[in-house]
């Protein structure tokens, strides 16, 4: 006899409303003029950890398997995530474009920047 047959509650799935919301991440992923690829990898790890601690699921906006074209995947993710965090430390052109798309969505976002850098968007 299967374990679930002995205890019917063992197979009960959580209610859909208990699902954690996703937090998209917009940031450089390769070396930029001022920072190495290792730097961005460390920032990404830090952001993922902080986002999980805030009870969100961290999702890089460039990640996903549904759409083959990366530009469509990124744009779709930018518009669909519950909240997005944007790292504007290096004023990377791709990041700035993606931030602009998020602003156009009129959805919640947060921006972070390395100490001594400025935020291009006033809140």
Q: pLDDT by residue (tens digit) across 27-59?
A: 999 999 889 999 999 999 999 999 999 999 999
pLDDT band per the 50, 70, 90 thresholds, residue 121: low
Tens digits of per-residue pLDDT, 54-100?
999 999 998 876 656 778 888 989 999 989 999 998 889 999 999 99
In this predicted structure, the answer to whether residue 10 has a pLDDT above a threshold of 90 is: no
φ/ψ bin of 64: left (φ > 0), alpha (ψ from -120 to 50), beta (otherwise): left
């Amino acid at each position: 006899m299967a374990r679930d047959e002995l205890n019917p509650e063992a197979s009960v799935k959580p209610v859909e409303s208990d699902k954690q919301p996703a937090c998209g991440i917009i940031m450089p992923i390769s070396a930029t003029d001022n920072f190495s690829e290792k730097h961005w990898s460390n920032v990404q790890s830090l952001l993922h950890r902080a986002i999980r601690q805030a009870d969100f699921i961290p999702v890089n906006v460039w990640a996903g398997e549904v759409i083959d074209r990366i530009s469509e995947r990124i744009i779709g993710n930018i518009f669909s995530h519950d909240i997005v965090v944007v790292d504007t430390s290096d004023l990377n052109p791709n990041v700035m474009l993606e931030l602009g798309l998020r602003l156009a969505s009129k959805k919640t976002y947060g921006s972070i920047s390395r100490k001594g850098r400025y935020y291009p968007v006033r809140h």
